[in-house]
Structure 1
Amino acid sequence: MANTYTDAGSGDTLVFLHGFCESKEIWADFARPLQQKFRTIALDLPGFGENTSNISNYSMESMAEYVKHQLDLLDVKKCILVGHSMGGYVSMAFAEKYSSMLNGLCLFHSSALPDTDEKKENRNKTIEFVEKHGVEKFMQSFVEPLFFADNRNKLRKEINFMVETGINTPKESITGSLAAMRDRPDRTNILREARFPVLFIFGKEDGAVPLDKALEQCHLPNNSMVNFLGKTGHLGMFERTYETRKAIEKFAETIFG
């Protein structure tokens, strides 16, 4: 049977949700040092990694229900949820329904805002491209621009890893989750009403979550910590591993004491 999660370390719990065309493996090296202080769980979201059988609904709400089900099975009562990109959208859907389970929330290159009309149109074009040309051709062009240009040569291994992960993703998962991201609602009200602290990690060179969109939301929670990273695109866990890991560690220590 496929293993759709990793669970290591002990203590207060950090739960990591990967982004679009990624898997739990994106967190493997990143989370390891955190396991000296915390229990870290990384999940394969429905349709991705080893979690690809019998998926019919790719909505952010459905994925959030899956996360809830897995956390119940793993006997997690409360946690800090760390969501990268699409994983952040899932985290926001989770927070909308299960806020009492959250000690804190980290939007890691992610957003509570809905897609703009332009971005929705781009999602539609991407769906058409994948349908027409297939997953491999899409992944060859999709991954590299997520990294800040100056980081691409030195992070070639990481780029290849991301491409390979994406190529192994079923076409239905890619088109289904693109449509689900396109259709997700505005959840900035969840940030405004949050009774838990929120950590924002943004790359200053991130084309997926532009700086103006970052600034629109990072002040909304009653209690927020914000990290803006220069010379960083959309993949801070690779581009600025030390700084992003330290930010999460400090955030968790502030919450758990």
Structure 2
Amino acid sequence: MLPNVLGTTTRADRPELVAEVRDMIATQPPDGVAWAQRAMADRPDSTSLLREFRGPALVVVGEEDTVTPPEGAADLLPGTDPVRLPAAGHLAPMENPEAFAEVVVPWINRVG
């Protein structure tokens, strides 16, 4: 799972975060993981709801995210452009918390 959720920069430069995420993954109860996978597989397609949404939206994605690649991250939300965080994969808030905060905090303050 680590190559899927952590960007290449994090895996190369942040061994402490790699160890933390590895531990988070390893300590999950197998029943809980199986339930979550079944729940995700069985959930209904709600992409039409995203296409119809007209409220404020912020799409933040790690530049190295392979789970939700930046190229398609905002395709379902009209009028949004994803903000790409450098040196981050799918766990962008953990991998680059400073950049994440610099994007999210002003947005929250603006839309309230």
TM class by shorter chain equals 0.7 to 0.9
* CA RMSD after TM alignment: 2.1
Give the Å deviation of 1:145: 4.0
Q: Greater RCO between the two (CA within 8 Å, min separation 6)? A: 2
Counterpart of 1:161? 20
**Which structure carries more helix by proportion?**
2
Task: Map Cα deviations across residues 29-76 of structure 1 (whole Å, 9 max, x no partner).
Answer: xxxxxxxxxxxxxxxxxxxxxxxxxxxxxxxxxxxxxxxxxxxxxxxx
* Offset at residue 201 of structure 1 (A): 0.6
CA offset digits 1:110-154 (Å, max 9, x no partner): xxxxxxxxxxxxxxxxxxxxxxxxxxxxxxxx1244222122132
What is the CA-CA distance between 1:209 and the residue it aligns to? 0.7
**In 2, are the aligned partners of 1:237 and 1:244 still within 8 Å (CA)?**
yes
1:178 and 2:37 aligned: yes
Query: Whose radius of gyration is greater, 1 or 2?
Result: 1
Q: Which of 194, 203, 207 is the matching residue for 2:53?
A: 194
Query: For residues 55 and 4 of structure 2, what CA distance do their matches in structure 1 show?
Result: 33
**Unmatched runs of 5 consecutive residues or more in structure 1:** 1-141
The number of aligned residues is 112
1:169 CA displacement: 1.4
Provide the residue aligned with 2:72 in structure 1: 213
Q: Check the 8 A contact 2:70/2:82 in 1, yes or no.
A: no
Alignment CA distance shift 1:161-1:203 (3 Å)? same
Cα distance between partner residues in 1 of 2:72 and 2:32: 27
Query: Post-superposition shift, 1:227?
Result: 0.6
* Distance of 2:24 and 2:9 partners within structure 1: 23
Q: Which has the higher strand share?
A: 1
- C-alpha change, 1:193 and 1:145, in structure 2 (3 Å) is closer
Return the offset for 1:203. 1.8
| SS of equivalent to 2:50 | helix
SS in 2 for 1:153: helix
Q: Is 1:249 the counterpart of 2:105 in the alignment?
A: yes
Letter in 2 for 1:167: A
Q: Deviations over 1:77-96 (max 9, x none)?
A: xxxxxxxxxxxxxxxxxxxx
- 1:155-175: per-residue Cα shift (whole Å, max 9, x none)? 211121112122221101101
Matched, 1:143 2:2: yes
What amino acid is aligned across from residue 205 of structure 1 in structure 2?
E
Where do 5+ consecutive residues of structure 2 fail to align?
Answer: none
1:152 corresponds to which residue? Answer: 11
Which residue in 2 is equivalent to 1:234?
A: 90
- Distance in 2, Cα, partners of 1:230 & 1:217: 22
Q: Percent identity?
A: 22
- Which runs of at least 4 in structure 1 moved beyond 4 Å after TM superposition? none
